[in-house]
Structure 1
Amino acid sequence: MPVDATPDPYANPMTFGTRLQILRQHRGMTREVLAGLIGMSVEWVKRVEGGRIEEPGLSTVLRCAEALRVRDLSELTGRSMNAPLFQGPGHPRLAAVRAAVDALPFGTSAAAPPRAEHLAARLAVAWQSRHSAPNHREIVGGLLPGLIRDAHLAVQHAETPADWRAAQAVLSETYSLSQFFLAYQPDASLLWRVAERSMVAAAQSVDPHAIGVSAWLMAQAHRDSGPGHYDAADAVTRQALEHLAPLLPDADDRVLAIAGALEFEAGYTAARRGSKGTAWRHWSKASKMAKALPGDYFHPVTSFSQAIMGAHAVTVAVELHAGGESVRQAARADATTIPSRPRRARHRIEEARGYQLDNQPDVAIATLEKAHEAAPETIRYNGYAKSLLLEECSARSAGRRERASRLAVKVGLLAA
């Protein structure tokens, strides 16, 4: 190999510092920028790259991987490990929610056990708070421990089979709410436990809405786990839709909506696979199902509605990596009609991804700013938004780099 050639970062032996330097230079990133992104000093980066500091701890390695947009930690460490780029920092409420989930599901209470209908009312308030509050994770995280505890109490103390099934439906939905809180949190095993418990409780409730919601979230958990889980995601959505199909002629709006949401999820997974025709066929069917709902209807869990289908079209185009189509769909969608703040922010993030695919990075950053205005906690914990921002923090354009850095400070990716 010529003496001036770039070393192969996979060659052995090679130190962590050498790998870090190669990947940093490959990204066109200065030591100053990398230091700011990972919260360390420029001198620290220099010392690591020079071999005067050995490989740091795992948390610092993960920050380096995130800043350099490395998915496989072997690029940095030489050992095969997957970097959880799309997991955010742990929310302050995470420990309390984890403790509530991990607690033994039985106990005694001097107070009368809560009734399922009272818990359902509390859940409705929690869902409304999630949709309306900019700091929705903080609010939901504060409510979940009590809801989880009381939902289990309601199941244990149910006096009739009907009460027991109603309590199981509430317990399932409580775990569904937990999944929204746990998305992008650094505890994948906890997310899976919650998803599985939601499915079990839903099956025991025999409530079609609870079954649909738990299946909708389980399909997402599989899909977001990577290509190896796409078949499982498809199986969950297919089986749930088959279960709901005979009930739809006499179903209420909630069940019709969850069926539509599941139909779109099938299209979402197809888009992840790159199956363009299948993805858009599912989207079209879901759009027809949305049009059968009242114009102002908005499903409290999935956000399925007529208003959301434009946002769903953007997601399909983005997942198919079709930049031009993503931008065209974004122009047709009206984000202002989405009443949920976190869902509106999520849509803005998807729009930003589309603009990035279409080589419009300045518009992408402006769109992320709108996402931050809608729901700061959504963008803070969203891996796609973080990845896009980190990339633009090292852009060649000074103006774009400065704008991205300002937003990165607001989001919490960079120190002020």
Structure 2
Amino acid sequence: MSSDATPDPYADPLRFGQRVQILRERRGMTQAQLADLVGISPHTLRKIENGQQKAPDLDRVMRIAEALRVRDLAELTGHPDMHVDLFIGPGHPRLASVKAAVDSFTLGSGIEPPPVAHLEARLHAAWKARHEARNHREVVGRLLPDLIRDGQALVRHADASASRRAAQALLAEAYSLCQFFAAYQPDSSLLWRVAERGMTAAQESEDPHAIGVAAWLLAQAHRDSGPRHFDAADAVNREAIAFLAPLLPDASDNVRAIAGALEFELGYTAARRRETGTAWRHWDQASRMAKKLPRDYYHPITSFSRAIMGAHAVTVAVELHQGGESVRQAAKADKTVIKSKPRRARHRIEEARGYQLDGQPDVAIATLQKAHEAAPETIAYNGYARRIILEEIESKVAERRRRASDLAMKVGILAA
């Protein structure tokens, strides 16, 4: 390694400030950007990085970890006894079999493809099971290997252009389901393979809905990779919206819904940038699109609907760090019921973030308990939820500390 190479925070016992600087620069963030996300002045952050100010308290350390999307707290602190996974789970038991199915390519004709209608019905049942299951990764992980292999076989055996396009649409849908499983698993390369193959299959299918869903998921993969990839996320979203726009007057509800979901994603990314006006403008546009859908409609993959817009408003407010506004939006959103248990749990986590920002940690912990009741596997793999729980384990209020510790054991952060 050359002498001017970036030091590896795993290799050298660097002080906290140096680690912050290294990880910030790897994320492509300026001091001003990180300071804004953490809620301190650039001057204070500069002093922390230069070692002129001691490492901050746990709350501030966790906020820095959140902003830098640090996967393991030891990576930031340098303490080997602080190996706490933040934004990625320990790995689901079914991850190996799903990965094997994604990585396997049978070039021969040994696998007999199922009838198209049969695979369609199984995919429909898989999405339904995902939305209804509390442990949705277990349910989906059990189904995915066969769905992926059969989708690949269907594409290989297609003997006409129309049947091949139909097969590619089903394979794209299987990859979309797989991306939900792969998110927050300790294999980011798998997530990218799935996202890119899903987009390739969707484009080959020429199916507007498949293309919209693949774009929605690919944009999320870019955004979750950090601020340097926000522009790429926006580019994918905008191109997909432009592709769908001419089709919308005569489109199905599913196509109109995925267009609305893509519109909201632009607002979500803007909120991550702290662009308040832009974020709410895209939310407004997505809300208008949702109101054109039937009142009881839910998109089968994204859950986009009239009802979900309240939850989306909470997300925007939280990402903008508007604590009071996020609490107000949470009160409005709770008037509707989100049918999908994983999506309901995620909404509860976003609400908990809002309550934490608003200085209501007891309500935040209570809300995370509701998230755990709705879908334990959602909260177990969510870094924001884990950060709040870890903060409140250190609370000086005994009852709050006890409730946070109990939840931490349920989620798997602490050993029983």
Structure 1 residue 192 and structure 2 residue 192: aligned?
A: yes
Match of 2:340 in 1: 340
For structure 1, which runs of at least 5 residues remain unmatched after alignment?
1-6, 13-21, 29-61
Q: Is the 8 A contact 1:10 1:75 kept in 2?
A: no
What is the CA-CA distance between 1:88 and the residue it aligns to? 0.9
Task: Give how far 1:117 is off.
Answer: 2.4
Call closer, same or farther: CA 1:199–1:84 in 2, change over 3 Å: farther
**SS of 2:301 mapped into structure 1:** coil
Paired residue for 2:328?
328
Contact 2:126/2:140 (<8 A) preserved: yes
Equivalent residue runs for 1:216-365 within 5 Å = 216-334=216-334, 337-365=337-365
CA contact (8 A) 1:69 1:387 kept: no
Give the alignment of 1:19-168 within 5 angstroms: 26-27=57-58, 73=75, 75-76=77-78, 85-109=86-110, 112-168=112-168
1:234 to partner: Cα distance: 0.4
Unaligned stretches of 5+ residues in structure 2? 1-13, 20-52, 60-64
Q: CA deviation at 1:69?
A: 9.3
Distance in structure 2 (CA, Å) of the matches to 1:147 and 1:23:
52
Instruction: Give the match for residue 23 of structure 2.
Output: none
Aligned residues: 361
Deviations 1:57-80 (A, max 9, x none): xxxxx9xx99x99768254179xx
Structure 1 distance, partners of 2:299, 2:17, is 49
CA RMSD in angstroms comes to: 2.6
Task: Name the aligned partner's letter for residue 198 of structure 1.
Answer: G
Q: Which amino acid aligns with 1:349?
A: I
> Residues 403 and 245 from structure 1, CA distance in 2 versus in 1: closer, same or farther, beyond 3 angstroms?
same
User: SS of the counterpart of 1:200?
Assistant: helix
| CA shift in 2, pair 1:23/1:75, >3 Å | farther
For the residue of structure 2 that corresponds to 1:399, the secondary structure is helix
Deviation, structure 1 residue 412: 1.3
348-357 or 394-403, which deviates more: 394-403
2:41 — aligned with what?
none
Match of 2:206 in 1: 206
Instruction: Spell out, residue by residue over 1:323-352, the C-alpha distance to the aligned partner (whole angstroms, 9 max, x if none).
Output: 000000001002651100000000000000
Kept in 1: contact 2:72–2:85 (CA 8 A): no
Q: Normalising to structure 2: TM-score of the pair?
A: 0.82
In 2 relative to 1, CA 129–335 (structure 1 residues): closer, same or farther, beyond 3 Å?
A: farther
Match of 1:18 in 2: none
The AA in structure 2 aligned to 1:27 is: L
- What TM-score do you get using the length of structure 1 for normalisation? 0.82
- How far the C-alpha of 1:118 sits from its partner, in A, is 1.7
The answer (yes or no) to whether the contact 1:322–1:357 under 8 Å persists in 2 is yes
Aligned equivalents of 1:114 and 1:276: distance in 2? 49
- Partners of 1:241 and 1:406 in 2: CA distance: 44
Distance (whole Å) between structure 2 residues aligned to residue 395 and residue 69 of structure 1: 23
Shift, 1:411, TM fit? 1.1
Deviation at 1:396, TM superposition (A): 1.3
Distance 2:340 2:246 in 1: 30
Displacement after TM superposition at 1:121 (Å): 1.0
**In structure 2, how many angstroms separate the alpha carbons of the residues matched to 1:100 and 1:151?**
11
Work out which of the two has the higher radius of gyration on C-alpha atoms and give 1 or 2: 1
Q: Percent identity?
A: 67
